[in-house]
Amino acid sequence: MSSPQERLFGPLDSRLNVGSGAALLIPNPRDRVELEALEARAKAAGGPARLGVSGLFGRSLRRALKGLPLTVLVAVGGVGLGLWSATAAAQAPAQAPAAKEEDMGAVFGAMYKKAMESFAKGEFKECIEGLKEMIAKGAEGPGLESVRFTIGSALFNQKDYKGAKEAFELYLKEYPAGTKVLEASTAVGQCMMNLGDKAGALKSFAELAQKPGANKERMVLVQANLLTELKKKEEAIALLRPTVNALLPTDESVQIAALLAELEVEAGNVENSFKLLDLLYGRFDVVENPLQVNALAFKIGDALRLKKEFKLAVRAYNLVQRKEDVLLLQREKLLRLKARYDANIASLSKNPERLAEVQKINSDIKALFDDGTRVLGEVEQAEDYAIPLRTRQAAVYLELKRHWNVIVLFEALLKSGNPKPEERENMEFTILMSHAELKNSKELDQSIDRYLKEFPAGKYLPQVNYFKGTQLMSAHDLEGAETLFGTAIKNKTAGENHETILFLLGNIRYELQLWDKALETYDEYRKQYPKGESFEEALYRKSLCYFFKGDFEKALPSLSDYVKEHPDGQFAPDAGFRIAACYMAAERPKEVIQRCLEWEKSFGFHKLMPEVLSLLGDAYVAIDKRAEAADAYFRALQLNASDEVLNYVLFEANKQYQKLGQWDKSVELFKNFIERNPKHPAVVASMYWLARALVKEGKPEEGKAFLSEKIYSFINDRASDAVEQLLTQLAQMCSKKPRPVPVAKPVEGAKVEGGTSVASAAAPAPAPAPAEGAAAAASTPEGTPAPAPPPFDPDAELAKYLSAKKAGGTPLVNARVLFARSELARMTRRPKEADELVDRIGAEFAPRDLGAALLARTGDRLLELKNIAKAEAIYRELMAAFPKSELLDYAYNGLGQMALQKGDAEGALKWFNEAIEKVGADVKLRDVTLGKGRALLQLGKLDDAKAIFEQVAATKEWRGPVTADAMYLLGEVAFQKKDFQLALQFFQKVVLAYQRYPQPVAKSYLRAADCYEKLGDAENAKAQLREMVSKEKLAGLAELEQAKTRLEGAQ
């Protein structure tokens, strides 16, 4: 910003330029024409021939010559000339002058005119010489006042301030009541200022302010500026405050408000400065220079930012008007002035008598128009300040942690395309950082991609790569993160995040079980950052690498080193536990027991306690101390352990109680567990095992009654998926004829029921029950022989414990009872009856009456029966009524299979993809995967389909009919690729290895024949078909009929 003096008076040259010629005052030719027309009309009406300084341009000049002595008014315009001429003319009759005197008057007039013309041209030296010559030749009269004043002005404009001061002082001495006393006094003050006598100037202006007719606002402004320069800001504020006019009617009042606002903010009077800024913006449409007000808002905002008054700084920056808006405002202002000017001229045709009045008004309008035009030019020339403004706003928002505001600001700027490349990069990076702060994962990803695309070698690349790596980690793309961070470390481009990245790289490799690489990385970290934030953790993780790698010989000393180095370290409890586990791995259970007991003493309340107790239990088991083991597991069960640990210790404890024959303790164990963990996934299995324990305890009726009670408590709750599981368990218990059980005695090494693995214990698979006779034969009672058993009726047994009527007889209850009966029929080897019962569920109940499990089961059955419409309704209900059910994959799979059957491969693919991505297909993953492959095959995406079929065929857990299907489909892919030899291999493999599955085998025979035909081997083709028709297992299949027809055709 310019100095206060410049702001007040402006550069001298420009003042002269503006005042030195009328042409400069007329903005465009049209205005000039109008002006000339106005002058012509004025002349015709008897007015002055030229609308000079006293008329049209008067105000403009006064405004332009702020602070200058009004020399130019006198010098250039008709007033000065008029005064001199008038003086000469007036002298004539009064003094009855001789002809010579008249001649001199004319001479002086001519000399004066010439001098004034020199002034107008900026030839001040010639002007001064001319005027001095007049004085030397004895020029006198009222005109001399102007001469004296003009000499001072010309000297001033020549920057001869000393001379000018003397000239103006002479004027004041000779004309103490002259017409230019105020101007001359002002000029004296200005000369003093320019001569460096600021104190003198201040005094001079203060005195001047008291004089009648003085422009007080102007004088105050000058004084305030001088006081500011003299570093007397408090005095300046005190001087300015009473002068502020809230209406801001004059230019000076605007400048006073602006100066005071600046001083107030510097003095810390923020509120005052804001009030002034508000005033200025309230009159933004009339202030002479809006850019100046904007600059002030910038300045106040910056000052507030430095003072960390961020919210106020935002307010200040918010006031700044955009350049486009300022231009618009300024143009509108000019248009309004122009319209008023035109209207005034137009009014003259009707009211010529108003000429003088119109002249006066329009001269003011013209002056305003000219000033406005000049300001418009300045605004147009000014650089756009949108970027500095937005950057400042963003900086403040960052301080205020308003990250969304920053994002929105910079996105808008980037969209405008205005920022330069370096600014763009800064903005993109700031956006990226803001998204990182906000944890906007998706947006951060996009931001990173944008940055990397636009600035592949940008200055923030290390940081951006760091964020990208952490994003990949969040997305579980550990391989991607490992590559990125590994490259950054290798290429030494990790920048300031090197330490963090190195440690994270170790962790990623640890997670990826790249133990050797992880070890190497942690070693590197410890070497490079012995005082690093993660130094301790790196050592601990290094130990874990050995541990999980199975290298216990190295893990043990490494963990011991950690405990030694960091006895109170954050990982000390975990290390203690792992050390014990190392001894377990080394098959030293006694050492383990000792370590675990010591651990308990040291860290008894630590969250690892359940794991330690579990390990302790395992160690006791290893030395056959089952009671102690069961006790340790039971204790673990009482703590807040993870689901996984709870599951383990629950069934391990049960196993020990079984071996000890302590069924009562098993009962207690499960009761305790169910009570403490009613929502645990193992609750349903626990109910089953509890019932079994009751049976083993010799209380079979109590066991079934227990299950029955639990079923009744849930059976009317449509949302309870556990009911179907319990029904299956009840059916299983009812499928077997009860046998008397002798009173249990502790038996070492007794057979453990429910298998030995946690998985089998947690999810008991209901084994098919033997037929009644077989069951009776197989169930030879242990101990005392029982009397001949009565005929056992499993259906009646089930009915005893499950009555639809007792449960309320609602459709849901009835359907569930049917389901239980179906399960019982299946377990007692009555498959047809089992299917019929399930079919009744589909036929007799509306989808809305069924729970998720029944919907899933029934939907699949209906699909199998090709009852597409009803199956679809069932699946849709499953999705609508149970959007969070774990069985949703049945619906997605079912709908996908339907789409496949209809030939809508795109639709099928969508369902299968959603089954995996949306609901995380679990039970149906196998079917969904195969279905997806089939859809891709239908779409002709052979390679994609092949990859999926290979995956299905290679998955051990899925071995069975889908493997046969996958092999057959791999043959189909090869066939469609016209690789008939390869296709033949697949088809023959199905025929040879999967005879158990007639459908794919039959299809493979036909396709194998096709392959032979394509290969031109008709004999082998026929041989395939002949072999196929000989297979009894394929009887009844449509493919068999096709084979027969083809054989007949071939003969």
Question: Which residues sit at the interface with another protein, rule CB under 8 A?
Answer: 311, 315, 318, 321-322, 324-325, 393, 400-402, 404-405, 407-409, 411-412, 438-440, 442-443
Measured from the CB atom, the residue of 340 and 606 that comes closer to another protein is: 340
Q: At how many degrees (to 10) do helices 626-637 and 609-622 cross?
A: 170
Q: Which of 305, 298, 250 is nearest to 277 (CA)?
A: 298
Measured from the CB atom, the residue of 402 and 1007 that comes closer to another protein is: 402
Tell me how far apart the 2 most distant CA atoms of the chain are, in Å.
172
Return the C-alpha torsion angle 676, 681, 683, 685, nearest 10: -150
Cα 883 from chain centroid (whole Å)? 28
Q: Where is 98: in which H helix or E strand?
A: none
> What's the min distance (Å) between Cβ of 273 and another protein?
18
Q: Which of 554, 616, 567, 625 is nearest to 591 (CA)?
A: 616
Cα torsion angle, 701, 703, 709, 712, sign: negative
Query: Torsions phi, psi of 678, nearest 5?
Result: -65, -20
Measured from the CB atom, the residue of 328 and 586 that comes closer to another protein is: 328
Rounded Cα distance, 713 and 687, in Å: 13
Rounded Cα distance, 577 and 596, in Å: 7
> What's the min distance (Å) between Cβ of 403 and another protein?
8
Query: Residue 384 CB: number of other CB atoms within 10 A?
Result: 12
Rounded Cα distance, 580 and 589, in Å: 9
Q: Which two structure tokens, joined as six digits, stand for 923?
A: 């039970």
> What's the min distance (Å) between Cβ of 465 and another protein?
24
Measured from the CB atom, the residue of 322 and 590 that comes closer to another protein is: 322
Measured from the CB atom, the residue of 408 and 873 that comes closer to another protein is: 408
Q: Which of 895, 881, 897, 900 is nearest to 938 (CA)?
A: 900
CA distances from 837 to 794, 816, 819 (A): 16, 11, 7
Rounded Cα distance, 266 and 300, in Å: 8
> What's the min distance (Å) between Cβ of 197 and another protein?
46
Measured from the CB atom, the residue of 156 and 397 that comes closer to another protein is: 397
Q: Which two structure tokens, joined as six digits, stand for 987?
A: 């088809």
> What's the min distance (Å) between Cβ of 213 and another protein?
25
Measured from the CB atom, the residue of 393 and 465 that comes closer to another protein is: 393
> What's the min distance (Å) between Cβ of 436 and another protein?
13
CA distances from 361 to 39, 601, 686 (A): 14, 101, 101
Measured from the CB atom, the residue of 90 and 400 that comes closer to another protein is: 400
CA atoms within 13 A on the CB side of 586: 17
Measured from the CB atom, the residue of 324 and 479 that comes closer to another protein is: 324
> What's the min distance (Å) between Cβ of 416 and another protein?
10
Measured from the CB atom, the residue of 282 and 550 that comes closer to another protein is: 282
Which distant-in-sequence residues (6+ apart) come within 8 Å of 14 by Cβ? 64
Rounded Cα distance, 950 and 18, in Å: 89
> What's the min distance (Å) between Cβ of 318 and another protein?
4
* Angle formed at CA 419 by CA 416 and CA 422, multiple of 5 degrees: 145
Which distant-in-sequence residues (6+ apart) come within 8 Å of 75 by Cβ? 116, 119, 120, 127, 146, 150, 153
> What's the min distance (Å) between Cβ of 52 and another protein?
26
* Angle formed at CA 969 by CA 966 and CA 972, multiple of 5 degrees: 160
> What's the min distance (Å) between Cβ of 390 and another protein?
9
Measured from the CB atom, the residue of 438 and 763 that comes closer to another protein is: 438
> What's the min distance (Å) between Cβ of 475 and another protein?
18
Measured from the CB atom, the residue of 359 and 686 that comes closer to another protein is: 359
> What's the min distance (Å) between Cβ of 290 and another protein?
14
Q: Which of 1011, 958, 957, 960 is nearest to 986 (CA)?
A: 1011
